[in-house]
Amino acid sequence: MSARRLVVVGASLAGLRAVEAARKDGFDGRITLVGAEPHLPYDRPPLSKQFLEESGAGGASPTFRTEEVLRTELGVELLLGTPATSLDTAARTVVVGEQALGYDALVIATGATARRLPGTDGLAGVHTLRTLDDATAVRKALDAGARTVVIGAGFIGAETAAAARKRGLDVVVVEALPTPLVRAVGESMGGALASLHRRHGTDLRCGLSVTALEGEGRVERVRLSDGSVLDADLVVVGTGAVPATDWLEGSGLTLDNGVVCDEMLHAGAEGVYAAGDVARWHNPVFDRSMRLEHWTSAAEQGALAARNALNPQAARGYATVPYFWSDQYDTRIQFVGVPDADEITVVEGDIERDRLWVALYRAGDRLVGALAVNRPTEIMKYRGLVARHATWVEGLTFARSRVKSRQTAGV
């Protein structure tokens, strides 16, 4: 390892895993972790789940490590509350405030930024849900009993609605597409998951768009494309996120829906690697370019990007079967693989009747994905099959054997 200075930009999951992996591998040079937010690295998944379900008074902090651990045990210099504003790959410097930080190895882990609704800046009561500050503001509104409108029935929107319903609040979810979660799990399974909302008293309105948010300084009403008007004290915009690459404009790196990397997560310039939600790389498992917004891949890529950046001669590729989970109401939803399929078949349970089911996804003759609802022990088995390029027939045969063995065991 000849690098003496590692700079990691983005102090969240991927950035933290990068510094941890560097130290674990024995790197004893200087590490600087740069973060735009003033907070220590924290975990985002709880923000749309437990964090919102509990009132402001309670709840555990989502922070991963104390400042003491970061500074003393991991020997990390923290530059928090100040974004990096540019990268010069020839001079090997990153500009942060007034400083130009030199690096031998750089990990870009700036994640993604929530899409805002145009024209709503300055209207109080309208929030995205990406950061701890966003979640704190949303939680405060829920504490006050807000009539809540969620725009977008993706995972974050659905989880926010579920948290508000758990508090007994009135919630309307507005989704432009005919069913929720289409991009994540496909149309038929999205339709099946829509019933979760209805069963728990959330008013789900699909195929409609928002035409205006109205109010005097603070949101009071949401107008929809069918002419209906919803009273609202809180609007949560859950319409997706865009990779945080603005600061890299002009750096010479290829930016195209993320920082474009090769299989090693190398971003093209010497010493520069990317990881997490901001990185688009070639995933050999599916032989295609991907950018994931999933916890597991962000953590794994963060660690690998640091290792590869510090020891490029021994660089390894990143290959994965994407995995994410979501908790909504009393239901755990898990998905592995890719959702664009020629066929989706329910192999266990009945989506109309049961609270537990498993569906498999076929593309050509290959098993490419699996969705498990309240079946946490199953999903990683299917992940293994997808990783091994199992055929569709192998997937179905495996599913039948699982169902049979459970029936025999009476579970």
Nearest approach, Cβ of residue 369 and ligand FAD (Å): 15
| Helices 132-143/155-166 angle, 10° precision | 30
Taking the C-alpha atoms of residue 28 and residue 1, their distance in angstroms, rounded to an integer, is 10
Stretch that binds ligand FAD, among 5-13, 176-184, 305-313, 359-367 (CB under 6 A): 5-13
Closest to ligand FAD by CB, 285 or 399? 285
> Strands 357-363 and 99-102, how do they pair?
unpaired
Closest to ligand FAD by CB, 301 or 362? 301
Nearest approach, Cβ of residue 301 and ligand FAD (Å): 8
Site string (101-130) toward ligand FAD, x via CB under 6 A: --------xxxx----------------xx
Kindly compute the dihedral angle of the four CA atoms of residues 174, 179, 181, 182, in this order, to the nearest 10 degrees. Answer: -130
Site string (306-345) toward ligand FAD, x via CB under 6 A: ------------------xxx-------------------
Nearest approach, Cβ of residue 221 and ligand FAD (Å): 26
Closest to ligand FAD by CB, 202 or 328? 328
Longest Cα–Cα distance in the chain? 68
Taking the C-alpha atoms of residue 283 and residue 80, their distance in angstroms, rounded to an integer, is 32
Decide: 70 and 78 in contact? Cβ < 8 Å: yes
| Helices 155-166/187-199 angle, 10° precision | 10
Compute the C-alpha angle 311/300/10, nearest 5°: 80
Closest to ligand FAD by CB, 273 or 392? 273
Taking the C-alpha atoms of residue 26 and residue 87, their distance in angstroms, rounded to an integer, is 27
- Interacting residues with ligand FAD between 132 and 191 (CB under 6 A): 156
Which single residue is written with the structure tokens 């990783």? 387
Decide: 93 and 48 in contact? Cβ < 8 Å: no
Report the DSSP beta bridge partners of residue 71: none
Site string (35-64) toward ligand FAD, x via CB under 6 A: xxx------xx-xx----------------
Nearest approach, Cβ of residue 325 and ligand FAD (Å): 5
* Interface residue list for ligand FAD (CB under 6 A): 9-15, 34-37, 44-45, 47-48, 83-84, 109-112, 129-130, 156, 244, 247, 276-277, 293-295, 298, 324-326
